[in-house]
Chains A and B, each alone.
Chain A
């Protein structure tokens, strides 16, 4: 049975059940009181369940979840206020009093109660109006929530990847037409945000000139009229890097998720990182790590995948052991205890969520240094410094550090295990942060707009793992 059939069946069964209950109970009803408040004979369980069903709506179920995702655990405060005032105090303070009053005054609704209690007709009207006004606003949020649920559960648009809404300025009348409001409402955008493409002058002439059987010149601009939805876009430095190197590569990795065999450098880097991670964590905990421990971790994290030959793998493995020896010697001599190791971070930049993991942060007298270990080769310190300065990852990490700790890190470091340890140091400036921001912005804009053209520069294309399947690849 298809998903749609199941959903339809559930809805039909539910509606049917409601009708049956209605028909069966209609015979027992004697007056309005029976219909609205069950003749005042409803027990505790039914009262509690119907209260919860009425009180907790999509505002809580969807809104609360969304809020929690966006703002974190502090969202609990909304729940706390609701439970304390809306449930506990409402019942303990108001529950019995209201019940006794309404029984005595023979009313069923809050406006009715207010009118009878204070012998004032105006109270009934005023409270009824207040309820009517606010229920409209409230219902909008609930209907919108329900709409989202239906959209997600049933894929109401049926569009899998792209969904085009088109409109024309010229339908043959005298005035140019605006895009229908439906477009802006459907996409949750203000009408001003919808860009209207200008026709080329040639197309205009063709349209207004004499009947011309040849088709008008096609519009050459890219046909991306509308930005994608405003949902939070989650990006890591890796994703941003992939996009800025080649948008087409980003599409293969993160949109289409085309699986590829892992590159041997990834296996090597991963195993080394695992060993370093253990070393630094032990350092924080005040435990000693021997070279044998490091080698053991390295061996365990090693996978036989992607190497060119058996001999190549053995060579790389031995190189890794050597690099760890150098690392161990360097770290013992250095003696600095890291402040954070493998610290996760996430922060929101307008509607982009940037996530990542700091490999290591050293904070000495309030001065932070962000350190990342690299297994790629550099020949000397000059090259290491150049790589550090150019590192998009470190620039984004500097921004993350600033957002998290409120001040800019004083130093960014890449430590290359080549196998000797070569360190590239760099002091980030306002320019570094601005660069990171503009990189994030340009990647996010492109990804949101669904623009994934291939970048055919030599470096991007020649070393791309998707080269063999990419139709746009460079031919040289």
Chain B
């Protein structure tokens, strides 16, 4: 996997995944709390 296969970049990929998942959850909670698309 060439230049991506370093410990730090792999760790960064993991950070991207975790951040994405957390952002999605937070977004979904706010979105549905505020009434979803019914607003």
Contacts and interface: CB of A to CB of B under 8 A. Distances in A.
Nearest to A100: B37
A80 B17 contact: yes
A76 B37 contact: no
A96 interface: yes
Interface in A18-72: 44, 48, 71-72
Contacts of A80: 13-14, 16-17, 20
A265 interface: no
A99 B36 CA distance: 10
A75 B1 contact: yes
B16 A99 contact: no
A88 interface: yes
A88 B13 contact: no
Q: Is the interface of A mostly helix, strand, loop or mixed?
A: helix
**Number of chain A interface residues as a range:** 20 to 34
* Most central of B17, B27, B36, B37 by chain A CB within 10 Å: B17
Given A76-B14, A77-B13, A71 B21 contact: no
Nearest to B29: A44
Given A71-B5, A72-B1, A79 B28 contact: no
Contact of A74 (B5, B20, B31): B5
A2 B13 CA distance: 43
Interface in B14-39: 14, 16-17, 20-21, 23-24, 27-28, 31-32, 36-37
Contacts of B31: 96
Contact of A88 (B1, B23, B37): B23
Nearest to B22: A88
A79 B10 CA distance: 11
A75 B14 CA distance: 10
* Most central of B1, B9, B37 by chain A CB within 10 Å: B1
Contacts of B17: 76, 79-80, 83-84
The 9 closest A-B pairs by CB, nearest first: A74-B1, A74-B5, A76-B13, A88-B20, A80-B16, A80-B13, A83-B20, A74-B4, A73-B10
